[in-house]
Protein backbone atom coordinates (compact mmCIF):
# COMPACT_ATOMS: atom_id res chain seq x y z
CA UNK A 1 0.00 0.00 0.00
CA UNK A 2 1.21 3.47 -0.80
CA UNK A 3 1.27 5.41 2.48
CA UNK A 4 2.82 8.57 1.06
CA UNK A 5 4.30 10.05 -2.10
CA UNK A 6 6.94 12.74 -1.71
CA UNK A 7 8.77 15.22 -3.93
CA UNK A 8 12.28 15.79 -2.67
CA UNK A 9 15.13 16.38 -5.08
CA UNK A 10 17.56 14.85 -2.57
CA UNK A 11 15.62 11.55 -2.81
CA UNK A 12 16.94 9.29 0.00
CA UNK A 13 18.51 11.42 2.75
CA UNK A 14 18.38 12.05 6.49
CA UNK A 15 14.84 13.44 6.77
CA UNK A 16 13.45 10.47 4.89
CA UNK A 17 15.46 7.89 6.86
CA UNK A 18 15.22 9.41 10.33
CA UNK A 19 11.72 10.95 10.23
CA UNK A 20 9.44 9.64 7.49
CA UNK A 21 10.32 5.92 7.54
CA UNK A 22 9.67 5.42 11.26
CA UNK A 23 6.70 7.79 11.35
CA UNK A 24 4.91 5.92 8.55
CA UNK A 25 6.24 2.44 9.47
CA UNK A 26 7.55 2.12 5.91
CA UNK A 27 8.80 -1.29 4.80
CA UNK A 28 9.42 -0.38 1.13
CA UNK A 29 10.98 2.76 -0.31
CA UNK A 30 10.44 3.31 -4.04
CA UNK A 31 12.67 5.85 -5.77
CA UNK A 32 10.82 6.76 -8.97
CA UNK A 33 13.54 8.59 -10.84
CA UNK A 34 14.84 8.13 -14.38
CA UNK A 35 18.41 9.12 -13.48
CA UNK A 36 18.96 6.77 -10.54
CA UNK A 37 17.08 3.95 -12.26
CA UNK A 38 20.03 3.82 -14.69
CA UNK A 39 22.81 4.53 -12.17
CA UNK A 40 23.77 1.51 -10.07
CA UNK A 41 26.42 3.50 -8.18
CA UNK A 42 23.84 6.07 -7.05
CA UNK A 43 21.49 3.24 -6.10
CA UNK A 44 24.17 1.59 -3.99
CA UNK A 45 25.09 4.88 -2.29
CA UNK A 46 21.47 5.65 -1.43
CA UNK A 47 20.88 2.15 -0.17
CA UNK A 48 23.69 2.41 2.39
CA UNK A 49 21.61 4.74 4.54
CA UNK A 50 18.44 2.65 4.54
CA UNK A 51 17.81 0.15 7.35
CA UNK A 52 18.02 -3.49 6.23
CA UNK A 53 14.37 -3.98 7.21
CA UNK A 54 13.28 -1.60 4.44
CA UNK A 55 13.25 -2.78 0.82
CA UNK A 56 14.57 -0.21 -1.67
CA UNK A 57 13.34 -0.21 -5.27
CA UNK A 58 14.67 2.07 -8.01
CA UNK A 59 12.49 2.46 -11.06
CA UNK A 60 12.05 4.86 -13.97
CA UNK A 61 8.97 7.04 -13.53
CA UNK A 62 7.16 5.61 -16.55
CA UNK A 63 7.78 2.06 -15.28
CA UNK A 64 6.32 2.74 -11.82
CA UNK A 65 3.58 0.15 -11.19
CA UNK A 66 1.34 2.07 -8.82
CA UNK A 67 -1.46 -0.47 -9.19
CA UNK A 68 0.72 -3.24 -7.73
CA UNK A 69 2.11 -0.96 -5.01
CA UNK A 70 -1.42 0.10 -4.03
CA UNK A 71 -2.84 -3.41 -3.93
CA UNK A 72 -0.32 -5.14 -1.66
CA UNK A 73 0.04 -4.76 2.10
CA UNK A 74 3.63 -3.47 2.28
CA UNK A 75 3.67 0.13 3.59
CA UNK A 76 5.40 2.04 0.79
CA UNK A 77 6.83 5.54 0.45
CA UNK A 78 7.39 6.76 -3.12
CA UNK A 79 10.03 9.44 -3.74
CA UNK A 80 10.09 11.71 -6.80
CA UNK A 81 12.93 14.07 -7.70
CA UNK A 82 10.70 16.88 -8.97
CA UNK A 83 7.17 18.06 -9.70
CA UNK A 84 7.32 16.93 -13.32
CA UNK A 85 8.03 13.34 -12.24
CA UNK A 86 5.05 13.34 -9.87
CA UNK A 87 2.86 14.68 -12.69
CA UNK A 88 4.07 11.89 -15.01
CA UNK A 89 3.40 9.29 -12.32
CA UNK A 90 -0.14 10.64 -11.88
CA UNK A 91 -0.68 10.36 -15.64
CA UNK A 92 0.42 6.71 -15.35
CA UNK A 93 -1.95 5.92 -12.49
CA UNK A 94 -0.56 7.33 -9.22
CA UNK A 95 -3.69 7.18 -7.06
CA UNK A 96 -5.28 9.83 -4.90
CA UNK A 97 -3.49 10.27 -1.61
CA UNK A 98 -1.13 12.65 0.10
CA UNK A 99 1.77 14.09 -1.87
CA UNK A 100 4.20 16.01 0.29
CA UNK A 101 6.57 18.51 -1.23
CA UNK A 102 9.61 18.44 1.02
CA UNK A 103 12.45 19.99 -0.92
CA UNK A 104 12.80 21.63 -4.32
CA UNK A 105 16.05 23.54 -4.79
CA UNK A 106 16.12 27.22 -5.72
CA UNK A 107 16.76 27.92 -9.40
CA UNK A 108 16.22 30.76 -11.87
CA UNK A 109 12.50 31.29 -12.38
CA UNK A 110 11.55 29.68 -9.06
CA UNK A 111 10.17 31.52 -6.05
CA UNK A 112 10.29 30.52 -2.39
CA UNK A 113 7.04 28.99 -1.13
CA UNK A 114 8.69 27.68 2.06
CA UNK A 115 12.20 27.53 3.53
CA UNK A 116 13.03 24.45 1.46
CA UNK A 117 10.66 24.59 -1.50
CA UNK A 118 11.10 26.85 -4.50
CA UNK A 119 8.61 26.56 -7.36
CA UNK A 120 8.19 28.08 -10.78
CA UNK A 121 4.74 29.31 -11.75
CA UNK A 122 4.43 26.22 -13.96
CA UNK A 123 5.31 23.86 -11.10
CA UNK A 124 2.87 25.61 -8.75
CA UNK A 125 0.14 25.28 -11.38
CA UNK A 126 0.99 21.59 -11.85
CA UNK A 127 0.69 20.97 -8.11
CA UNK A 128 -2.62 22.85 -8.03
CA UNK A 129 -3.85 20.65 -10.90
CA UNK A 130 -2.79 17.51 -9.01
CA UNK A 131 -4.74 18.80 -6.03
CA UNK A 132 -7.78 19.51 -8.19
CA UNK A 133 -7.56 15.96 -9.55
CA UNK A 134 -8.01 14.48 -6.07
CA UNK A 135 -4.55 14.37 -4.52
CA UNK A 136 -3.84 16.01 -1.16
CA UNK A 137 -0.86 18.29 -1.88
CA UNK A 138 1.05 19.76 1.07
CA UNK A 139 4.39 21.34 1.89
CA UNK A 140 5.98 19.40 4.74
CA UNK A 141 9.67 18.79 5.41
CA UNK A 142 9.23 16.37 8.33
CA UNK A 143 6.22 14.75 10.02
CA UNK A 144 6.52 16.99 13.11
CA UNK A 145 6.05 20.08 10.91
CA UNK A 146 2.48 21.19 10.29
CA UNK A 147 1.52 20.55 6.65
CA UNK A 148 0.80 23.67 4.60
CA UNK A 149 -1.16 23.98 1.39
CA UNK A 150 0.72 25.04 -1.73
CA UNK A 151 0.10 28.66 -2.71
CA UNK A 152 1.65 30.66 -5.50
CA UNK A 153 4.43 33.05 -4.49
CA UNK A 154 3.49 36.71 -4.31
For 77-97, what is each residue's pLDDT tens digit?
Answer: 999 999 999 999 999 999 999
Query: Which of 67, 57, 49 minimizes the C-alpha distance to 32?
Result: 57
Region 59-73 average pLDDT: 96
Instruction: Give the pLDDT score at 153.
Output: 45
CA distance 102 to 148: 11
DSSP-based three-state secondary structure for 18:
helix
State yes or no: pLDDT of 138 exceeds 80.
Answer: yes
The pTM of the full predicted model, rounded to 2 decimals, is 0.95
DSSP-based three-state secondary structure for 111:
strand
Amino acid sequence: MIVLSRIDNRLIHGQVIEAWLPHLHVKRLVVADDVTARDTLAQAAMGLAVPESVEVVHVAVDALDTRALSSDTVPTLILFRDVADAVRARQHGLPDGRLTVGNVHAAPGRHAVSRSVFLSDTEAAQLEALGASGMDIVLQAVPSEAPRRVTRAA
